[in-house]
Structure 1
Amino acid sequence: MLIKTSSQSLTEQLCARFAQRIRDRLLAPGTRLPSVRQCAQQQGVSPSTVVAAYDQLLAQGLVEARKNRGFFVREPAQRDAPTEVAPPRPPQAPASQAPVDATALIRGMFHRSSSKPQPGIGVFPPDWLESAFMPAAVRKVSATPSLQAFSLQYGEPMGDSLLRRALSKKLASLGVHAGPEAIITTVGATQALDIVSRSLLRAGDPVMVEEPGWAVEFARLTALGMRLLPVPRRADGPDLDVMARYCEAHRPKLYVSVSVLHNPTGYCLSPGSAHRVLQLANRWDFHVLEDDTYSHLAPDHATRLCTLDGLQRTIYVSGFAKILAPNWRIGFVAANPALVEQLLDTKLLTTLTTPALLERAMALCIEQGQLRRHADRIRTRLEAARSRSVKLALNAGCRFAAEPAGLFGWVDTGVDTDALAQRMLDEGYLIAPGALFHAERKPSTLMRINFAATQDAAFWKKYAELVGRM
């Protein structure tokens, strides 16, 4: 809240608040600031205070005024240029626009706006992930004579052999048959996705993505120069008619899918939809990149494209950051042997090798069954959290746009969640507005909530209060 007795004037406080959010990318380039009247009502100040604050933001080059439209956050390149000589920004094609702000949620993970639970983050709270077996595994690996070998030379290019053998067994339990020679370890699942994209695609290639979908993936592909083709995601899988039309018109090179516990909806792919997707892939000669980041939370016998396809046209990616050790940054990719050398070349060009000590510790956690037992405990705890969060959300007037499942809920608020997000930030809460999950920015009444971080009744009380004023 703005403080009238502060050493700073209300104008300076308000300007500083917006400036910090712009620099932290919690307000993305192109975002429209609240109107003077709206901002005055929200902050409890006079319109003249808001006008003065916006004038200061203009002087700092952080925003621009557009006639009869309001104030908008400027692009970083524009901020570096003198205001009076900044050329007008040319219109961009929708396909090349970045999402609202893919980095906002990631930054929120590292720079918390308050000590309150953060409903918009995409990870479990740290206390959920605590365990005694992880440090024990590191101590065991560190105590062996092989520590010097791990430390004084680069590891195996493909990744630690013990971990790849453990991953091969784990994948077999999911029905994905990949020998250790078909698995490459990576610096987290995000790098695995990036390695596949850089290996198979070139700038300008059309790529089918699910919508709603993962904001970071949209931004990453856009930064690589790809043309995004959004495919509506339904409860049973992608809109197959839209996919077929894209295939005929654009001949896409890749389809990126989260088949199990889709982010943000929680949907799981049906066998019928999976079969038809693979038929399209074979007919039109494109690869399917299957992101199974939430595999540890998935229901038994969930349908995966890689299981049906046997890694012929599919490529499997997963990791452990969501369930066990975010800072170990261990991910992996499993692919057809014909692609492995190409993927390995890309890995070597980007990171050389990956940390063998932590990979060997992860192998111990898997082989000794500790990861499986840990995941069982997390699923049990998450089920209770989800039940409580759903009740609180419904009592606050929300409607679930998808059946609650997994870590995330896809919630319809009935109001513009971009505007709601800014009001919630004032109260110390980071939420994930629906616009973040679309390849092209557009207003949305939806938001994604993290069930592990939305059990706080105080959040839902403040949410209902703010929505009631909109």
Structure 2
Amino acid sequence: MLDATFTHDAQEPGLQASALTRTSARTLTEQLAERFASRIRDRLLPPGARLPSVRQCALQHDLNPSTVVAAYDQLIAQGLIEARRNRGFFVRERLSQARPGAGSTSPADLSRMTAPVSAATLIRGMFHPSGGKPQPGMGVLPPQWLESPFMASAVRKVTSAGVLADSSLRYGEPLGDAHLRRVLSQRLQDMGMPADPSHIITTVGATHALDIVSRTLLKPGDAVMVEEPGWAVEFARLDALGMRILPVPRGASGPDLAVMARYCEAHSPRLFVSVSVLHNPTGYSLSPGAAHRVLQLAQQHDFHIVEDDTYGHIAPEHATRMSVLDGLQRTFYVSGFAKILAPNWRVGYLASPPAWTERLLDTKLLATLTTPSLLERAMAHCIEQGQLRRHAERIRLRLDVARERSVKLAQAAGCRFVAEPAGLFGWVDTGVDTEPLAQRLLDEGYLIAPGALFHAARAPSTLMRINFATTQEAAFWRVFSRLRGSSA
């Protein structure tokens, strides 16, 4: 439902749904049924999602209610949806997604099982054309913001004939390119983090780094504390590994420490996953006091912390990071460059406590053997020459302007920010359920990020996450206001 594209009737890339037309060779019933079927197949309508009522759907598409009933009947016959007495029509859970040996499933468990489907949709969408319109639900900066001449120059520099042959015909270093690890070590030490190059491991993006830590420290059934609202992919990833997810409410200064303490007493969690700086989706940044208290809890109850600093490149200077305060004793620091510079280079890394480095490296080797040293060397060149720093400064300035515009437009459209706008994302209250609103906006060619996707257990929400870089144009907000008004 976010960061994804919708394959419409003509099977062309893009987001704008083709209009239902009475001159088509197919009946209106067939066109409407195919529209919903396509969204279900593309996982834009995940299992458990509720379809509009017959009356709502008829009004939205200017159809006779009997046409909608006939279309829903076709979807039921295809096994795609089911009718629930006195409740409406819902997308069916596919048998292939059911867990082996599972018995009866509670509504809470079912909603948690559907979260990975929507998170997978988020990932799938990054590999499709986004159409001509800026997409409010995007989780990344627009490609045109990331364009820079120095990247091509860096690649040319590290692919001279001799270097290219040497790097292509043998595996790279298991830990990652030594030059990049030295550059990263210096960068982290400048932040106050005692990260030696021998304790830094390069990865295929930051998500891979998070996965390496999880697979090394945890076993199925272990309890993991994760901030909520939080990144949908992280909930899905841990769920797929068989972990017990313990959602911790995230506030302006940090996680809810009282909830964490109760979890520690009742569940003995092994890990806490945190986005300290420019938290996704709220934009919150951790306060020093909260950071110290989290570290005290970790010491008292013997759990580790993974600090995901994906958005650190656009963060204010001297932002609080637990890995700095802790000195990489109980913390694992994770970051990468996909969000700020080169998404397709897939260069990420993690810095770990020394005692864990070899075990983490074993996990990396079992999954990927090594990582591409040529792109790692090019990234080292970009950092070492100061090009990444200057690029990040330009992005921050451009984002400041976009954020100011987007905030004014959102407020004029009747939205209320529940967190102080900061960083790339805004966390806004629309006043209406954003899941059905998302489907209606999809008909207009816009993908939004409904609030339900940012919780471990799916539940109706009036919140949505917006990308400030892609919501600074009035056109989207005019469509949003019109559909929001008819949904209230």
How far did residue 144 of structure 1 move? 4.9
Matched, 1:367 2:403: no
How far did residue 419 of structure 1 move? 1.0
Match of 1:259 in 2: 276
Query: Distance between the aligned counterparts of 2:208 and 2:96, measured in 1?
Result: 30
Query: Residue 215 of structure 2: which of 198, 210, 214 is its match?
Result: 198
How far did residue 93 of structure 1 move? 7.1
Query: Distance between the aligned counterparts of 2:430 and 2:52, measured in 1?
Result: 19
| CA deviations over 1:202-236 (Å, ceiling 9, x no partner) | 10100000000000000000000000000000000
Match of 1:29 in 2: 47
| CA deviations over 1:14-69 (Å, ceiling 9, x no partner) | 11111111111111111111111111111111111111111111122111222222
Query: Distance between the aligned counterparts of 1:136 and 1:172, measured in 2?
Result: 27
The amino acid that maps onto 1:50 is V
SS of residue in 1 equivalent to 2:319: coil
Match of 1:43 in 2: 61
The amino acid that maps onto 1:90 is S
| CA deviations over 1:280-338 (Å, ceiling 9, x no partner) | 00000000000000010000100000000000000000000000000000000100110
How far did residue 78 of structure 1 move? 6.2
The amino acid that maps onto 2:188 is L
Match of 2:14 in 1: none
Query: Distance between the aligned counterparts of 2:107 and 2:218, measured in 1?
Result: 20
Matched, 1:63 2:81: yes
Query: Distance between the aligned counterparts of 1:311 and 1:208, measured in 2?
Result: 19
SS of residue in 2 equivalent to 1:210: strand
Query: Residue 211 of structure 1: which of 205, 215, 228 is its match?
Result: 228
The amino acid that maps onto 2:334 is V
SS of residue in 1 equivalent to 2:426: strand
The amino acid that maps onto 2:196 is G
Residue 403 to residue 178, structure 1, CA distance change in 2 (3 Å): same
TM-score w.r.t. length of structure 1: 0.96
Query: Residue 310 of structure 1: which of 322, 327, 337 is its match?
Result: 327
Judge conservation of contact 1:95–1:228 (CA < 8 Å) in 2: no
State the 4+ residue runs in structure 1 displaced beyond 4 angstroms: none
How far did residue 70 of structure 1 move? 1.7
Judge conservation of contact 2:426–2:466 (CA < 8 Å) in 1: yes
How far did residue 171 of structure 1 move? 1.0
SS of residue in 2 equivalent to 1:98: helix
Residue 79 to residue 233, structure 1, CA distance change in 2 (3 Å): closer
The amino acid that maps onto 1:136 is S
Query: Residue 291 of structure 1: which of 308, 318, 342 is its match?
Result: 308
How far did residue 341 of structure 1 move? 0.4
| CA deviations over 1:78-119 (Å, ceiling 9, x no partner) | 699xxxxxxx98314736723541123223322346321110
Query: Distance between the aligned counterparts of 2:129 and 2:260, measured in 1?
Result: 39
What is the percentage of aligned positions where both structures have the same residue?
71
Judge conservation of contact 1:98–1:218 (CA < 8 Å) in 2: no
Query: Distance between the aligned counterparts of 1:220 and 1:169, measured in 2?
Result: 31
Q: Over the residues paired in the alignment, what is the CA RMSD in angstroms?
A: 1.6
SS of residue in 1 equivalent to 2:461: coil
> Which stretch has the larger CA shift, 62-71 or 335-344?
62-71
Matched, 1:8 2:26: yes
Matched, 1:466 2:476: no
Query: Distance between the aligned counterparts of 1:366 and 1:273, measured in 2?
Result: 31
Match of 1:392 in 2: 409
Judge conservation of contact 2:48–2:114 (CA < 8 Å) in 1: no
Query: Distance between the aligned counterparts of 1:457 and 1:433, measured in 2?
Result: 20
Matched, 1:242 2:259: yes
How far did residue 71 of structure 1 move? 1.5
The amino acid that maps onto 1:202 is K
Structure 1: unaligned runs, 5 residues or longer: 81-87
Query: Residue 94 of structure 1: which of 76, 83, 108 is its match?
Result: 108
Query: Distance between the aligned counterparts of 2:212 and 2:426, measured in 1?
Result: 29
TM-score w.r.t. length of structure 2: 0.93
Match of 2:453 in 1: 436
Match of 2:168 in 1: 151
Query: Distance between the aligned counterparts of 2:128 and 2:89, measured in 1?
Result: 26
How far did residue 145 of structure 1 move? 1.4
The amino acid that maps onto 1:40 is A
How far did residue 143 of structure 1 move? 1.1
Match of 1:114 in 2: 131
Matched, 1:53 2:71: yes
The amino acid that maps onto 1:207 is V
Judge conservation of contact 2:47–2:114 (CA < 8 Å) in 1: no
Query: Distance between the aligned counterparts of 1:336 and 1:208, measured in 2?
Result: 20
Judge conservation of contact 1:206–1:251 (CA < 8 Å) in 2: yes
* Aligned positions, number: 464
SS of residue in 2 equivalent to 1:238: coil
